[in-house]
């Protein structure tokens, strides 16, 4: 984001927009470039007209990625008028006006994007890998800068996150407040697809996993108890109550055929059924964060997905023990 205060006029606006267009042209991986301006003695209508004029001479693939935020006047605004950008405009406007007039930031809803960004930050904390750059969060989550900034600002307000050098952030400890909110919404956020054996028998889960793994797509990983044993060799639970798998689905499209072909008796059931033998969780972020495993045919999910699986199984005590064990690990 480029913050420009006290522009002298539309000529400065044009120059700044051309500069950002060049940045976008040189860096095609950037989803958006945002120009925040405060231009005195110019109306909103005039500024919007000039901005439209600037974008009209740019290539469509560049113009569509440019964002303008105006923090001048009494009411900030953004073009395009998206909710995340408008909230960012309000925060910048409050900062420009000074702390005595600052407007409290609205608490963001825990959406699917909030969920994925939070999990990325918590995974980094549990694996003790230090601060994470904002650009890395954008890359791993697939979310835009305004969306990531909104989550970061909220977690800073709850005192669960701090800023570090080089535009990076880090959770200061295990974020109990937000974690409890996540757990309360976990089922609706994760939207698991659950399978039961229509024959009424109890399938042998490890051979089932091997059959699934033999023909599994690259975006499939094992979670639950098996992943917990990967992350903690001392994980204390006998047996395997059910299989938990995660499937990479950043476009929200995935195929359950590999599971149904591995055991034709498996049928999709409701998530509250007491007959579930396998739960499949769509993973919506851009990067999987899976880790290779030498113990089975599939990679394992990250520690955060593992903890969510354990809570889904009702294994809260084991989840807490896993958090403690991960905290005891030395920085890699």
pLDDT digits (tens, 9 = 90+) for 15-33: 788 888 888 888 888 888 8
pLDDT of residue 183: 93
pLDDT digits (tens, 9 = 90+) for 251-273: 888 888 889 899 999 999 998 88
Q: Which of 303, 301, 305, 299 is nearest to 323 (CA)?
A: 303
Taking the domains of the chain in order of start, what are their residue ranges? 2-101, 112-183, 191-328
pLDDT of residue 90: 85
pLDDT of residue 329: 74
What's 143-184 look like in SS3?
CCHHHHHHHHHHHHHCCCEEEECCCEEEECCCCHHHHHHHHH
pLDDT of residue 203: 82
DSSP 42-100: --HHHHHHHHHHHHHTS-HHHHTTEEEEE--SSS-EEES--HHHHHHHHHHHHHHH-GG
Strands 132-133 and 168-171: antiparallel
At residue 102 the predicted structure's pLDDT band, cuts being 50, 70 and 90, is: very low
pLDDT of residue 249: 92
Lowest pLDDT segment from 64-78, 133-147, 208-222, 315-329: 64-78
The helix/strand/coil state of 208 is helix
Q: Which of 106, 54, 53, 97 is nearest to 75 (CA)?
A: 97
* CATH architecture label of 191-328: 2-Layer Sandwich (3.30)
pTM of the model: 0.69
Lowest pLDDT segment from 10-24, 50-64, 132-146, 280-294: 10-24
At residue 238 the predicted structure's pLDDT band, cuts being 50, 70 and 90, is: confident
Cα–Cα dist 19/63, whole Å: 12
CATH code 1.10.10.10 for 112-183: yes
Has residue 277 got a pLDDT over 90?
Answer: yes
At residue 104 the predicted structure's pLDDT band, cuts being 50, 70 and 90, is: very low
């Amino acid at each position: 984001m480029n913050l420009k205060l006290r522009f002298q006029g539309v000529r400065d606006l044009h120059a700044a927009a051309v500069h950002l267009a060049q940045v976008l042209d040189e860096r095609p991986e950037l989803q958006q470039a945002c120009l925040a301006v405060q231009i005195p003695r110019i109306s909103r209508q005039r500024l919007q007209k000039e901005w439209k004029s600037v974008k009209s001479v740019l290539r469509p693939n560049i113009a569509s990625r440019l964002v303008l935020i105006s923090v001048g006047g009494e009411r900030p605004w953004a073009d395009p008028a998206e909710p995340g950008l408008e909230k960012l405009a309000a925060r910048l406007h409050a900062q420009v006006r000074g702390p005595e007039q600052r407007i409290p930031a609205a608490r963001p809803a825990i959406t699917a994007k909030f969920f994925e960004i939070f999990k990325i930050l918590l995974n980094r904390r549990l694996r003790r890998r230090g601060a994470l750059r904002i650009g890395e969060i954008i890359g791993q989550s697939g979310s835009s800068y305004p969306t990531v900034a909104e989550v970061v600002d909220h977690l800073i307000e709850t005192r669960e996150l701090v800023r570090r050098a080089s535009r990076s952030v880090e959770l200061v400890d295990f974020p109990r407040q937000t974690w409890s909110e996540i757990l309360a919404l976990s089922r609706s956020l994760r939207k698991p697809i659950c399978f039961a054996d229509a024959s009424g028998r109890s399938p042998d889960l490890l051979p089932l996993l091997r059959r699934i793994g033999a023909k599994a797509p690259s975006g499939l990983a094992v979670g639950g108890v098996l992943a917990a044993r990967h992350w903690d060799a001392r994980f204390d639970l006998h047996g395997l109550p059910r299989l938990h798998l995660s499937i990479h689905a950043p476009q929200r499209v995935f195929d359950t055929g590999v599971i149904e072909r591995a055991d034709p008796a498996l049928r999709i059931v409701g998530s509250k059924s007491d007959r579930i033998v396998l739960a499949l969780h769509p993973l919506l972020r851009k990067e999987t964060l899976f880790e290779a495993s030498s113990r089975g045919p599939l990679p394992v999910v990250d520690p955060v997905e593992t903890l969510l699986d354990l809570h889904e199984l009702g294994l809260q005590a084991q989840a807490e023990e896993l958090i403690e064990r991960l905290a005891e690990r030395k920085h890699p």
